Amino acid sequence: MPTVKVNNLSMEYYAEGSGPPLLLIMGLGGQASSWGEPLLEGLQEHFQTIRFSNRGTGGTDKPAGGYTIRQMASDAAGLMEAIGLNQAHVFGISMGGMIAQELALNHPERVQGLVLGCTTCGPVHSIPVPAQTLAQFGQIMQLPMEERIERFWEITVTPEFEEERADFLRRILELGVATPTPMETFGLQFAAIQGMETYDRLPQIESPALIIHGNRDMLVPVGNADVLHERIPGSRIRIVQGTGHCFFWEKPEQVIAELVRFLATVSVAA
């Protein structure tokens, strides 16, 4: 497990594949291993992917104290500096999409193409999680770890995918159990999400941006993609039909094609 020192943290990261660099930023409670092999293998045919575990997850240090989205964006920028990466395309999903927004706003020189998946601009101006889903999420978080991971799929993927791709989800479960995310991290990251707000600053994003979202997302309603699209100048929007929150698990080939098509239009010097 390669690690590097960033902002007084030891951070787990992996650089794989060849081509233009693509920084992958994971969401709430996820880690470097959470992307799924079909997506990673496909992306690595076109890009050098750099995936890492956010503070509090995986093999990265788990400091106590408050986390902020801006702080985690600083971690991502610090990782790039530590490994000698001046610029990269950036793909963030869910909380990782929030981190990607702050990275593009506070470190614009580091971000070429920006891809924001299943994410929001913060709770104040977002379309909220349905009350039923929020209550279900709260109940799931009280369960033992393995059951918690399995039940989390009820609100992150479609029932069809859960039934048809039990083998894939079993592999994700095994990886999650191997380096479990502490409950303290969930609390710290959730608080960071609640304190995040980029709505008024989104028009300042200079990087070409693609917003991508599953149309059956129960956790982050798809209408949030329209909010981002309207606020980020010149952005494009793509809706992945028939997928839930983890659209990149359910239709990796389509997601890869969308990223390749979009990022091919972004100059390396953008």
Q: In the 3-class helix/strand/coil scheme, how is 7-38 assigned residue by residue?
A: CCEEEEEEEEECCCEEEEECCCCCCHHHCCHH
Task: Specify if 167 maps to a domain.
Answer: yes
Element (H or E) spanning 48, and its range? strand 48-52
Task: Specify if 47 maps to a domain.
Answer: yes
What pLDDT was estimated at residue 270?
42
- Phi, psi of 201, rounded to the nearest 5 degrees: -95, -10
User: Residue 134, Cα to own-chain centre: how many angstroms?
Assistant: 19
pTM of the predicted structure, to 2 decimals = 0.97
Amino acid at 162: E
Beta bridge partners of 92: 25, 116
CATH number of the domain to which 207 belongs: 3.40.50.1820
Task: Specify if 27 maps to a domain.
Answer: yes
Task: Specify if 269 maps to a domain.
Answer: no
The mean pLDDT values, 10 residues at a time, for the chain of 270 residues are: 94 97 97 97 98 97 94 98 97 98 98 98 95 90 88 95 95 92 94 97 98 98 98 98 98 98 80
Task: Specify if 219 maps to a domain.
Answer: yes
Mean of per-residue pLDDT scores for the chain? 95
User: Residue 29, Cα to own-chain centre: how many angstroms?
Assistant: 10
User: Residue 53, Cα to own-chain centre: how many angstroms?
Assistant: 11
Task: Specify if 268 maps to a domain.
Answer: no
What pLDDT was estimated at residue 149?
87
Q: How far apart are the first and last CA of the chain?
A: 32
Q: Which domain holds residue 29?
A: 3-263
Q: How many CB atoms lie within 10 A of CB 267?
A: 8
Tell me the two tokens of residue 254.
């389509």
Distance in angstroms (rounded) separating the CA atoms of residues 20 and 33: 21
What pLDDT was estimated at residue 268?
59
What pLDDT was estimated at residue 150?
87
Amino acid at 107: H
Task: Specify if 11 maps to a domain.
Answer: yes
Distance in angstroms (rounded) separating the CA atoms of residues 65 and 229: 33
Q: What pLDDT, in 10s, does the model give residues 128-181?
A: 999 999 899 889 889 888 898 889 999 999 999 999 999 999 999 999 889 999
Number of domains in the chain: 1
122 contacts 99 by C-beta, under 8 angstroms: no
